[in-house]
């Protein structure tokens, strides 16, 4: 029997086969979970729907995380389909390319608001709809973050601020929903070549530096993040909440 046998999981943020969210979806399915995947628009749907079918996902549903109406509709459909929910994975982040190069001083008001809305507030919006479906089920909410939330990385700029807000939201949500038996955690993954990473100027330099300096002397793989996600979403982590769990070959412990 798998670690997630019989669990119902919604995974938000699969963009293509290189997504961390996709590796998590595959790992969850191997461990026995039933899945619902989401897509933001029709162009992404063309990639996500075939992936959902390949893991026998219950459904692939549209959801623009900037829309409260879309979030309500998504979780209403999940409630109709399953009658409850055990796991929610938030793997969503966005900032315009113009905000991810050059000086942080050039951050625009509009760019700041967009990055914080999509990358951080969306977790709160999802939790509002998901938690009522998790009551009595020892639910787990899991977000994906990055070390640029607490340390300065070239060109990460407003996304670092958004990830800091996301991590603070994880802690506040953990306290807010703990009385319902719901846990909230995040994984801080090392640099991976994903669609999101492609938008960060100098990404290859950052990844190369991590590979040289991390205790394990390498970067990570999507499957390693997925393994941590299985643990944090399973009964093995039933006493863990409000945590930022690093999967980065140990880079975060290095000073000089």
Work out the widest C-alpha separation in the chain, in whole angstroms. 53
Catalytic residue among 39, 146, 147, 251: 146
172 noted as active-site residue: no
Q: Can 156 be counted among the known catalytic residues?
A: yes
When computed from its CA atoms, the radius of gyration of the chain, rounded to whole angstroms, is: 17
Query: How far are the Cα atoms of 49, 182, 220, 241, 243 from residue 141, in angstroms, in the given order?
Result: 23, 7, 23, 9, 11
**Count of beta carbons in the 10 Å neighbourhood of residue 145:** 24
Place of tokens 């958004």: 162
Length of the chain: 256
Task: Tell me the C-alpha distance between 4 and 31, whole Å.
Answer: 5
Instruction: Output the CA torsion sign for 130, 62, 170, 186.
Output: positive
Handedness of CA 227, 86, 149, 40 (dihedral sign): positive
The catalytic position among 156, 172, 205, 251 is 156
Active site residues: 146, 156
């Amino acid at each position: 029997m798998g670690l997630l046998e019989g669990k119902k999981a919604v995974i938000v943020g699969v963009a293509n086969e290189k997504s961390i969210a996709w590796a998590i979806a595959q790992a969850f399915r191997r461990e026995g979970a039933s899945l619902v995947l989401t897509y933001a628009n029709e162009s992404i749907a063309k990639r996500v729907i075939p992936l959902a079918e390949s893991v026998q996902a219950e459904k692939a549903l549209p959801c623009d995380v900037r829309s409260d109406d879309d979030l309500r509709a998504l979780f209403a459909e999940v409630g109709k389909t399953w009658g409850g929910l055990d796991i929610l994975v938030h793997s969503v982040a966005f900032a315009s390319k113009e905000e991810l190069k050059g000086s942080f001083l050039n951050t625009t008001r509009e760019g700041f608001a967009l990055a914080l809305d999509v990358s951080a507030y969306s977790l709160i919006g999802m939790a509002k709809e998901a938690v009522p479906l998790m009551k009595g089920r020892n639910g787990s909410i899991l977000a994906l973050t990055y070390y640029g939330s607490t340390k300065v990385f070239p060109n990460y700029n407003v996304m670092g601020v958004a990830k800091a807000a996301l991590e603070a939201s994880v802690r506040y949500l953990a306290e807010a929903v703990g009385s319902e038996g719901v846990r909230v955690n995040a994984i801080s993954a090392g640099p991976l070549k994903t669609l999101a990473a492609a938008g960060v100027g100098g990404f290859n330099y950052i990844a190369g530096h991590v590979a040289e300096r991390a205790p394990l002397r390498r970067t990570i793989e999507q499957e390693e993040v997925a393994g941590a996600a299985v643990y944090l979403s399973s009964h093995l982590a039933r006493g863990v909440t409000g945590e930022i769990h690093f999967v980065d070959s140990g880079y975060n412990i290095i000073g000089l």
